Amino acid sequence: MATLNSRRTSRRYAADAGLLVVAAAFVLPLAWVILSSLDPHADLRVKTPDGITLDNFDAVLEPDITFTPLLNSLILCGGATLLTVVCAALAAYPLSRFRSRLNRPFLLTILFATSLPITAIMVPVYALFVQVDLIDTMQGTIFFFAASQLPFAIWIMKNFMDGVPKELEEAAWTDGASSFQSLLRIVLPLMGPGVAVVTVFSFVMMWGNFFVPFMLLLSPEQMPASVSINDFFGNRGTVIYGQLAAFSIIYSTPVILLYVLIARRLGGGFALGGAVKG
């Protein structure tokens, strides 16, 4: 058995080495953004900063550059996430609890819609929004965001809801609770992780989405951070890379924190992508 053990140890070193090589390649762009944000003379390559400064952060923490776009992002993504989660929870309940001939076709349609390329329908959505006067409105964008996220949200929500035993609810029904009350008081609290996954996933997807607000919003003062970040290029002449890096960090922090939070709670590997069982 000794040889097997030593073979295992050497294999572990080999695996470690392999992983570290990939990690080194993957970390370079991340190192750039962190080092540049602290560097008074940042350029495009990874280098030790010429002194450490917070001037870049100071320069971008202005209403037009940071606060307004982030607030817009928050309104858009927060509003759309709320709408998504509420609609998905309501829709998942009868699908999970009552038997109906329509359940199966409905769920198959939902599953089909989860993997449609949303990018492809943005041109007709734009044309449609122009005709019904929803173009360049926050509410129009929120509705579209919610609709594009709903198939996935309903699917996950229904699967988690199936895991909540029915007996608990039946007890509540005998006590005279309505379906709505038992959904609110019993089912949803018991599927906390499911609601958390849907909420965080929807929010993160929308926060990072560029194409939807890029197409559906026009006026600069309504733009979320995902679109306004492009102003660092083009409009302002020379690009100040240090400030771009600082803004990138500020804009990315919320989603990274959310991811860490949920990955912790749900236990490492599962997190968001691990939701796929296959």
Partner 1 sequence: MTAAPPAGPGVVKTPPGPTAPPPAPKTRTARRALVRALPVSPAVVLLVLFLAGPIAYCAYIAFTDLQLTGQAESSFVGFDNFREAFQDDAFLNAVWLTLVFTVLSSLIGQNTLGLALAALMQRASKPVRTLTGGIVITAWVLPEVVAGFLLYAFFRREGTLNAVLDWLHLPSQNWLYTLPILAVSFANVWRGTAFSMLVYSAALNEIPQEITEAAEVDGAGGWRRMWHITLPMIRRSIGTNLMLNTLQTLSVFGLIWVMTRGGPGTRSQTLPLFMYEQAFQKSMIGYGTAVALLLLVVGSLFSLVYMRLLRTEV
Residues between 238 and 277 that touch partner 1 (CB under 8 A): 241, 244, 248, 251-252, 255-256, 259, 269-277
Rounded CA-CA distance 232/167 in Å is 57
Q: Are 166 and 179 in contact (CB under 8 A)?
A: no
- Closer residue to partner 1 in complex, CB, 59/118: 118
Does 203 help bind partner 1 (rule: CB under 8 A)? Answer: no
Phi, psi at 86, each rounded to 5°: -65, -50
Does 59 help bind partner 1 (rule: CB under 8 A)? Answer: no
Does 117 help bind partner 1 (rule: CB under 8 A)? Answer: yes
Span of 11-19, 50-58, 62-70, 184-192 interacting with partner 1 by CB under 8 A = 11-19
Rounded CA-CA distance 9/12 in Å is 5
Does 218 help bind partner 1 (rule: CB under 8 A)? Answer: no
Does 123 help bind partner 1 (rule: CB under 8 A)? Answer: yes
CB of 173 to partner 1, least distance (A): 10
Q: Are 266 and 201 in contact (CB under 8 A)?
A: no
**69 to 88, contacts with partner 1 by CB under 8 A?**
83, 86-88
CB of 71 to partner 1, least distance (A): 16
Tokens of 36: 């540049």
Phi, psi at 109, each rounded to 5°: -60, -45
Q: Are 209 and 226 in contact (CB under 8 A)?
A: yes
Binding residues for partner 1, rule CB under 8 A, total 112
Residue from the set 40, 119, 220, 236 that interacts with partner 1 by CB under 8 A = 119
**136 to 165, contacts with partner 1 by CB under 8 A?**
143-144, 146-152, 154-156, 159, 162
- Closer residue to partner 1 in complex, CB, 16/221: 16
Tokens of 176: 């005279």
Q: Which one-letter DSSP state was computed for residue 64?
A: I
Rounded CA-CA distance 169/234 in Å is 58
**178 to 197, contacts with partner 1 by CB under 8 A?**
179-180
- Closer residue to partner 1 in complex, CB, 61/107: 107
Tokens of 101: 């001939």
Rounded CA-CA distance 156/197 in Å is 8
